[in-house]
Structure 1
């Protein structure tokens, strides 16, 4: 019985192989294009011959392909971003068959994937409680308008072209106005001497107050 089953299987395999060999060969060629636009060529399309050991062929960068197959073979055209297309080579092709294969673009909506950076809820609670909230727009504007901030920014920034031009024009105006007059000497100004003596006196008093408070 075992030998009879083996002989029967051998006959079935030989019959299928003989039937496959009876199909005439054909040079199958063509171009793959986008079915939504005939002028758009789809390059590097995978072509699988499901009727003959799943042989795989690939079209070139121009969408062109050419290989040997059998009449009535079923071919599957697949490419990323396009829906698969199946076709059967017709019979009586006279050893060659050329065609154009149109494949349609396919949009696949993937499910939403959310990344949760904390392994446990305890880690999330700890990071949330220690998190430092950023200032809102109103607080940032208030800090930018503070006098101390503006003064520090003005002292650190260099003068722009308009400020330099105004300073130069003011000096030129002062020079022109005083070119025919005598420039006053501050050493001969009694008010300047009085101000200097007052500053020295106030400085001595402040130093004396500081030393007395330290004792």
Structure 2
């Protein structure tokens, strides 16, 4: 009985294969297009024959394909991001050549919004938020720009302009004119100047003594 069943399935398989081989061969060609826009070519699409469940070929970088199949074969076109498309080769084809444009429809999947944060935990976020330095507004920036320290720093770094130099020259010229008819005091007769000069000499002697003591140590 087992042998009879095996022989029966073998005959069925041979008969189906013979019927498939009896179908005429066809040169099947075409170009794969995007169904939403025919001007867009879809390259590298896999093409599988459902009769053999084997991949026949794939379209090239221009979407073109061409291979031999049988009449009434069902060809399955698959590509990542596109819906599966089936094409059946009709029977009784003249010239044994069948060329069609194949339209495959893109699949659009809307994924949920996903937010990425640089903090692993809520505690880290709170710590960074409390330590965050808030930028000053326009009023606070203006106050800092006109503060005494800011103006002093600008005065020490900004070069003198022409107007300031001219005012200084005029002031010096005015002082010399005012003192032209007066007696210029002699600093050698000023006791305060002599006292300051003696203090400077004493300070210099003490500084030299301290340097010599440090060199001796």
* SS of equivalent to 2:44: coil
CA distance 1:56–1:2, change in 2 (3 Å): same
Alignment of structure 1 residues 85-104 onto 2, 5 Å: 85-93=85-93, 94-104=95-105
By how many angstroms is 1:146 displaced?
Answer: 7.2
Larger Rg: 2
Shift of 1:154: 8.2
Query: Residue 154 and residue 3 in structure 1: after superposition, are their counterparts in 2 closer, same or farther (change >3 A)?
Result: farther
Partner-residue secondary structure (3-state), 1:80? coil
Q: How far apart are the structure 1 equivalents of 2:42 and 2:168?
A: 80
Q: Structure 1: state its 5+ residue gaps.
A: 119-123, 201-215
Which residue pairs with 1:47 in the alignment? 47
How far apart in 1 are the matches of 2:153 and 2:35?
67
Inter-partner Cα distance in structure 1 for 2:103 and 2:6:
45
Shift of 1:130: 5.5
What is the aligned partner in structure 2 of residue 78 from structure 1? 78
Partner of 2:130: 133
TM-score (structure 1 length as normaliser): 0.63
- How far 1:29 sits from its partner (Å)? 0.5
Change (3 A) 1:86 1:131: same
The alignment's TM-score, normalised by the length of structure 2, stands at: 0.62
Q: C-alpha deviations, 1:2-52, integer Å up to 9, x for none?
A: 111111111011111111111111111101112222222122222221222
- After superposition, the Cα gap between the structure-2 partners of 1:132 and 1:55, relative to the gap in structure 1 and judged at 3 Å, is closer
Residue 16 of structure 2 is aligned to residue 16 of structure 1 = yes
Q: Distance in 2 between matches of 1:72 and 1:111?
A: 43
Q: Structure 2 stretches of 5 or more lacking a match?
A: 179-184, 200-217
